[in-house]
Amino acid sequence: MDEDGWTADLAREALPADLVRLGIGDDAAWLAAVPDGWVVATDVLIDGVHGVVADVGAAALAAKAVHVNVSDFAAMGARPRALLVGLVLPRDDTASCLEGVRAGLRAACREHHLALVGGDTNVAEGPLVIAVTMLGTPGPGGLVTRTGARVGDRVSVTGPLGGSLGGRHLAPRSRVEAGEVLARSGRVHAMMDVSDGVARDLPRLCRASGVGSLIDLERVPVHADVPEAAPDRPMRALCDGEDFELLVAHAPWDDDTLAALARLDATPIEIGVVTEAAEGLVLVRAGVPQAWPRGGFDHLASVP
C-alpha cells in the first residue's frame, strides 16, 4: 500500500461525476464551471471526540465524516457532489484504520453519489483524524442562509430530536432532498442543521438574522432514542446534539411543500416563533418562562 494508491482506488470506485474535469492523482483537482458557482464546507472528525473507533469501528467514523458534511449542504438547500479527505492514521493501528476508513468512505460516497477528488494521507502518534471538505452546487431553489429570519416567522424542525448519541449520530438520515424542497418552497427565510443541539444552534441562527425567538418546550418533538427514564425528555431533545435535522424560520407552509416533505418523512414540526432581537431567546414550559439552557458543546469553551 502506498499513499497514492488507496485514494486512486477509491476514486475509481466512486460514481463518475460529470462535474469533475480532472480527478484525483495530480497536484490538484479541477472542477467544471457551473452557472451558480460552487458551495464548500469542511468538518473534522476525531476518534474519541465524535465517536470511539474501538466501539464503532473506523468505517463508521469515516462515514459520519461524510454525513455531517452532507448535512451542512442540506442545511442550505445545496447538493453535495465531490469531496476531499485529509487523514491522520494512528501509528499503532495504521492498516486496520485505513481499511475501515476506506470502507466507510466508499459506502458513504455511494449513498450520496459523491466523487473523491483529493486526499492526503499521514501517519502520526495520536487518534484517527478524518478531515472532509465537501464541494457541491446550489440546488434548484438556490441557497438558504441563516440570516433571513423575520419577526413573526414560525420556527420548525424536520424531525424528532435527542438521544442520537445512542447510535443515530453515526448515520443520520440525509436531509438533502428535504433541504431542496424547503429552499424551493419560497417559504423558508433561514435554515441550518441541528448539529450541536437546538439550544445552541438556534441562538446562532437568531444572531445571524438579528432576531429573537420564543420556543415552547412542550412542542419540541422528542425522539424515541431519548430513554423513557430520562428525567426531562423535552430538555434532552432541545439540548442533545448531532440530530442533523433541519431547523427553519419560515412563513406558513403551502400544501404542496407539506406533501413533498411528508413523502420524505420530513414533515415539519413547529416549536416556536421568531421575535424581536430585544426579546432575546425565551423558552416556555406550560406557559412559564424558563432560563435558556446552556446546552450543546463548544470545543473552545475552556479557552479564555
Q: Does 302 bind its own copies (CB under 8 A)?
A: yes
Q: Which of 12, 13, 48, 218 binds its own copies (CB under 8 A)?
A: 48
Please give the biggest Cα pair distance in the chain: 62
Query: CA 128 to CA 146: how far, in whole Å?
Result: 32
Q: Which amino acid is at 10?
A: L
CB of 143 to its own copies, least distance (A): 6
Residue 29 interacts with its own copies (CB under 8 A)?
yes
Examine residue 49 and tell whether it contacts its own copies (CB under 8 A): yes
Report d(CA 66, CA 84) in Å as an integer: 10
> Under the criterion CB under 8 A, does residue 252 sit at the interface with its own copies?
no
CA distance 88 to 49: 15
Q: Is position 30 an interface residue for its own copies (rule: CB under 8 A)?
A: yes
Q: Pick from 14, 60, 75, 215 the residue near its own copies by CB under 8 A.
A: 75
The region that residue 165 occupies, defined by phi over 0 for left and psi between -120 and 50 for alpha, beta otherwise, is alpha
- Least Cβ distance, residue 90 to its own copies (angstroms): 9
Question: Can you tell me which of 10, 11, 14, 43 binds its own copies, judged by CB under 8 A?
Answer: 43
Q: Is 26 in the site for its own copies (CB under 8 A)?
A: yes
**Interaction of residue 153 with its own copies, rule CB under 8 A:** no
Cα–Cα distance, 143 to 190 (Å, whole number): 10
Q: Note whether 61 binds its own copies by CB under 8 A.
A: no
> Contacts for 227-234 with beta carbons within 8 Å, 24 or more apart?
227/163, 233/162, 234/285
- What nine digits make up the cell of 283? 423558552
Chain positions 267 to 286 lying near its own copies, rule: CB under 8 A, are none
> 181, 270 in Cβ contact below 8 A?
no
Count of positions on this chain that bind its own copies (CB under 8 A): 78
* Part in contact with its own copies (CB under 8 A); list of ranges 3-11, 56-64, 104-112, 248-256: 3-11
- Buried b / exposed e over 206-228, threshold 16 CB at 10 Å, is beebebbbbbbbeebbbbebbee
User: Does 231 sit near its own copies (CB under 8 A)?
Assistant: no
Question: Residue from 13, 16, 37, 152 that binds its own copies (CB under 8 A)?
Answer: 37
Identified binder of its own copies from the candidate list 59, 62, 63, 98, rule CB under 8 A: 98
- Identify the residue among 10, 121, 149, 261 touching its own copies (CB under 8 A): 121
CA distances from 224 to 33, 160, 192, 232, 234 (A): 44, 8, 23, 13, 11
Supply the minimum distance, in Å, between the C-beta of residue 188 and its own copies: 13
Q: State the nearest-atom distance from the C-beta of 25 to its own copies, in Å.
A: 7
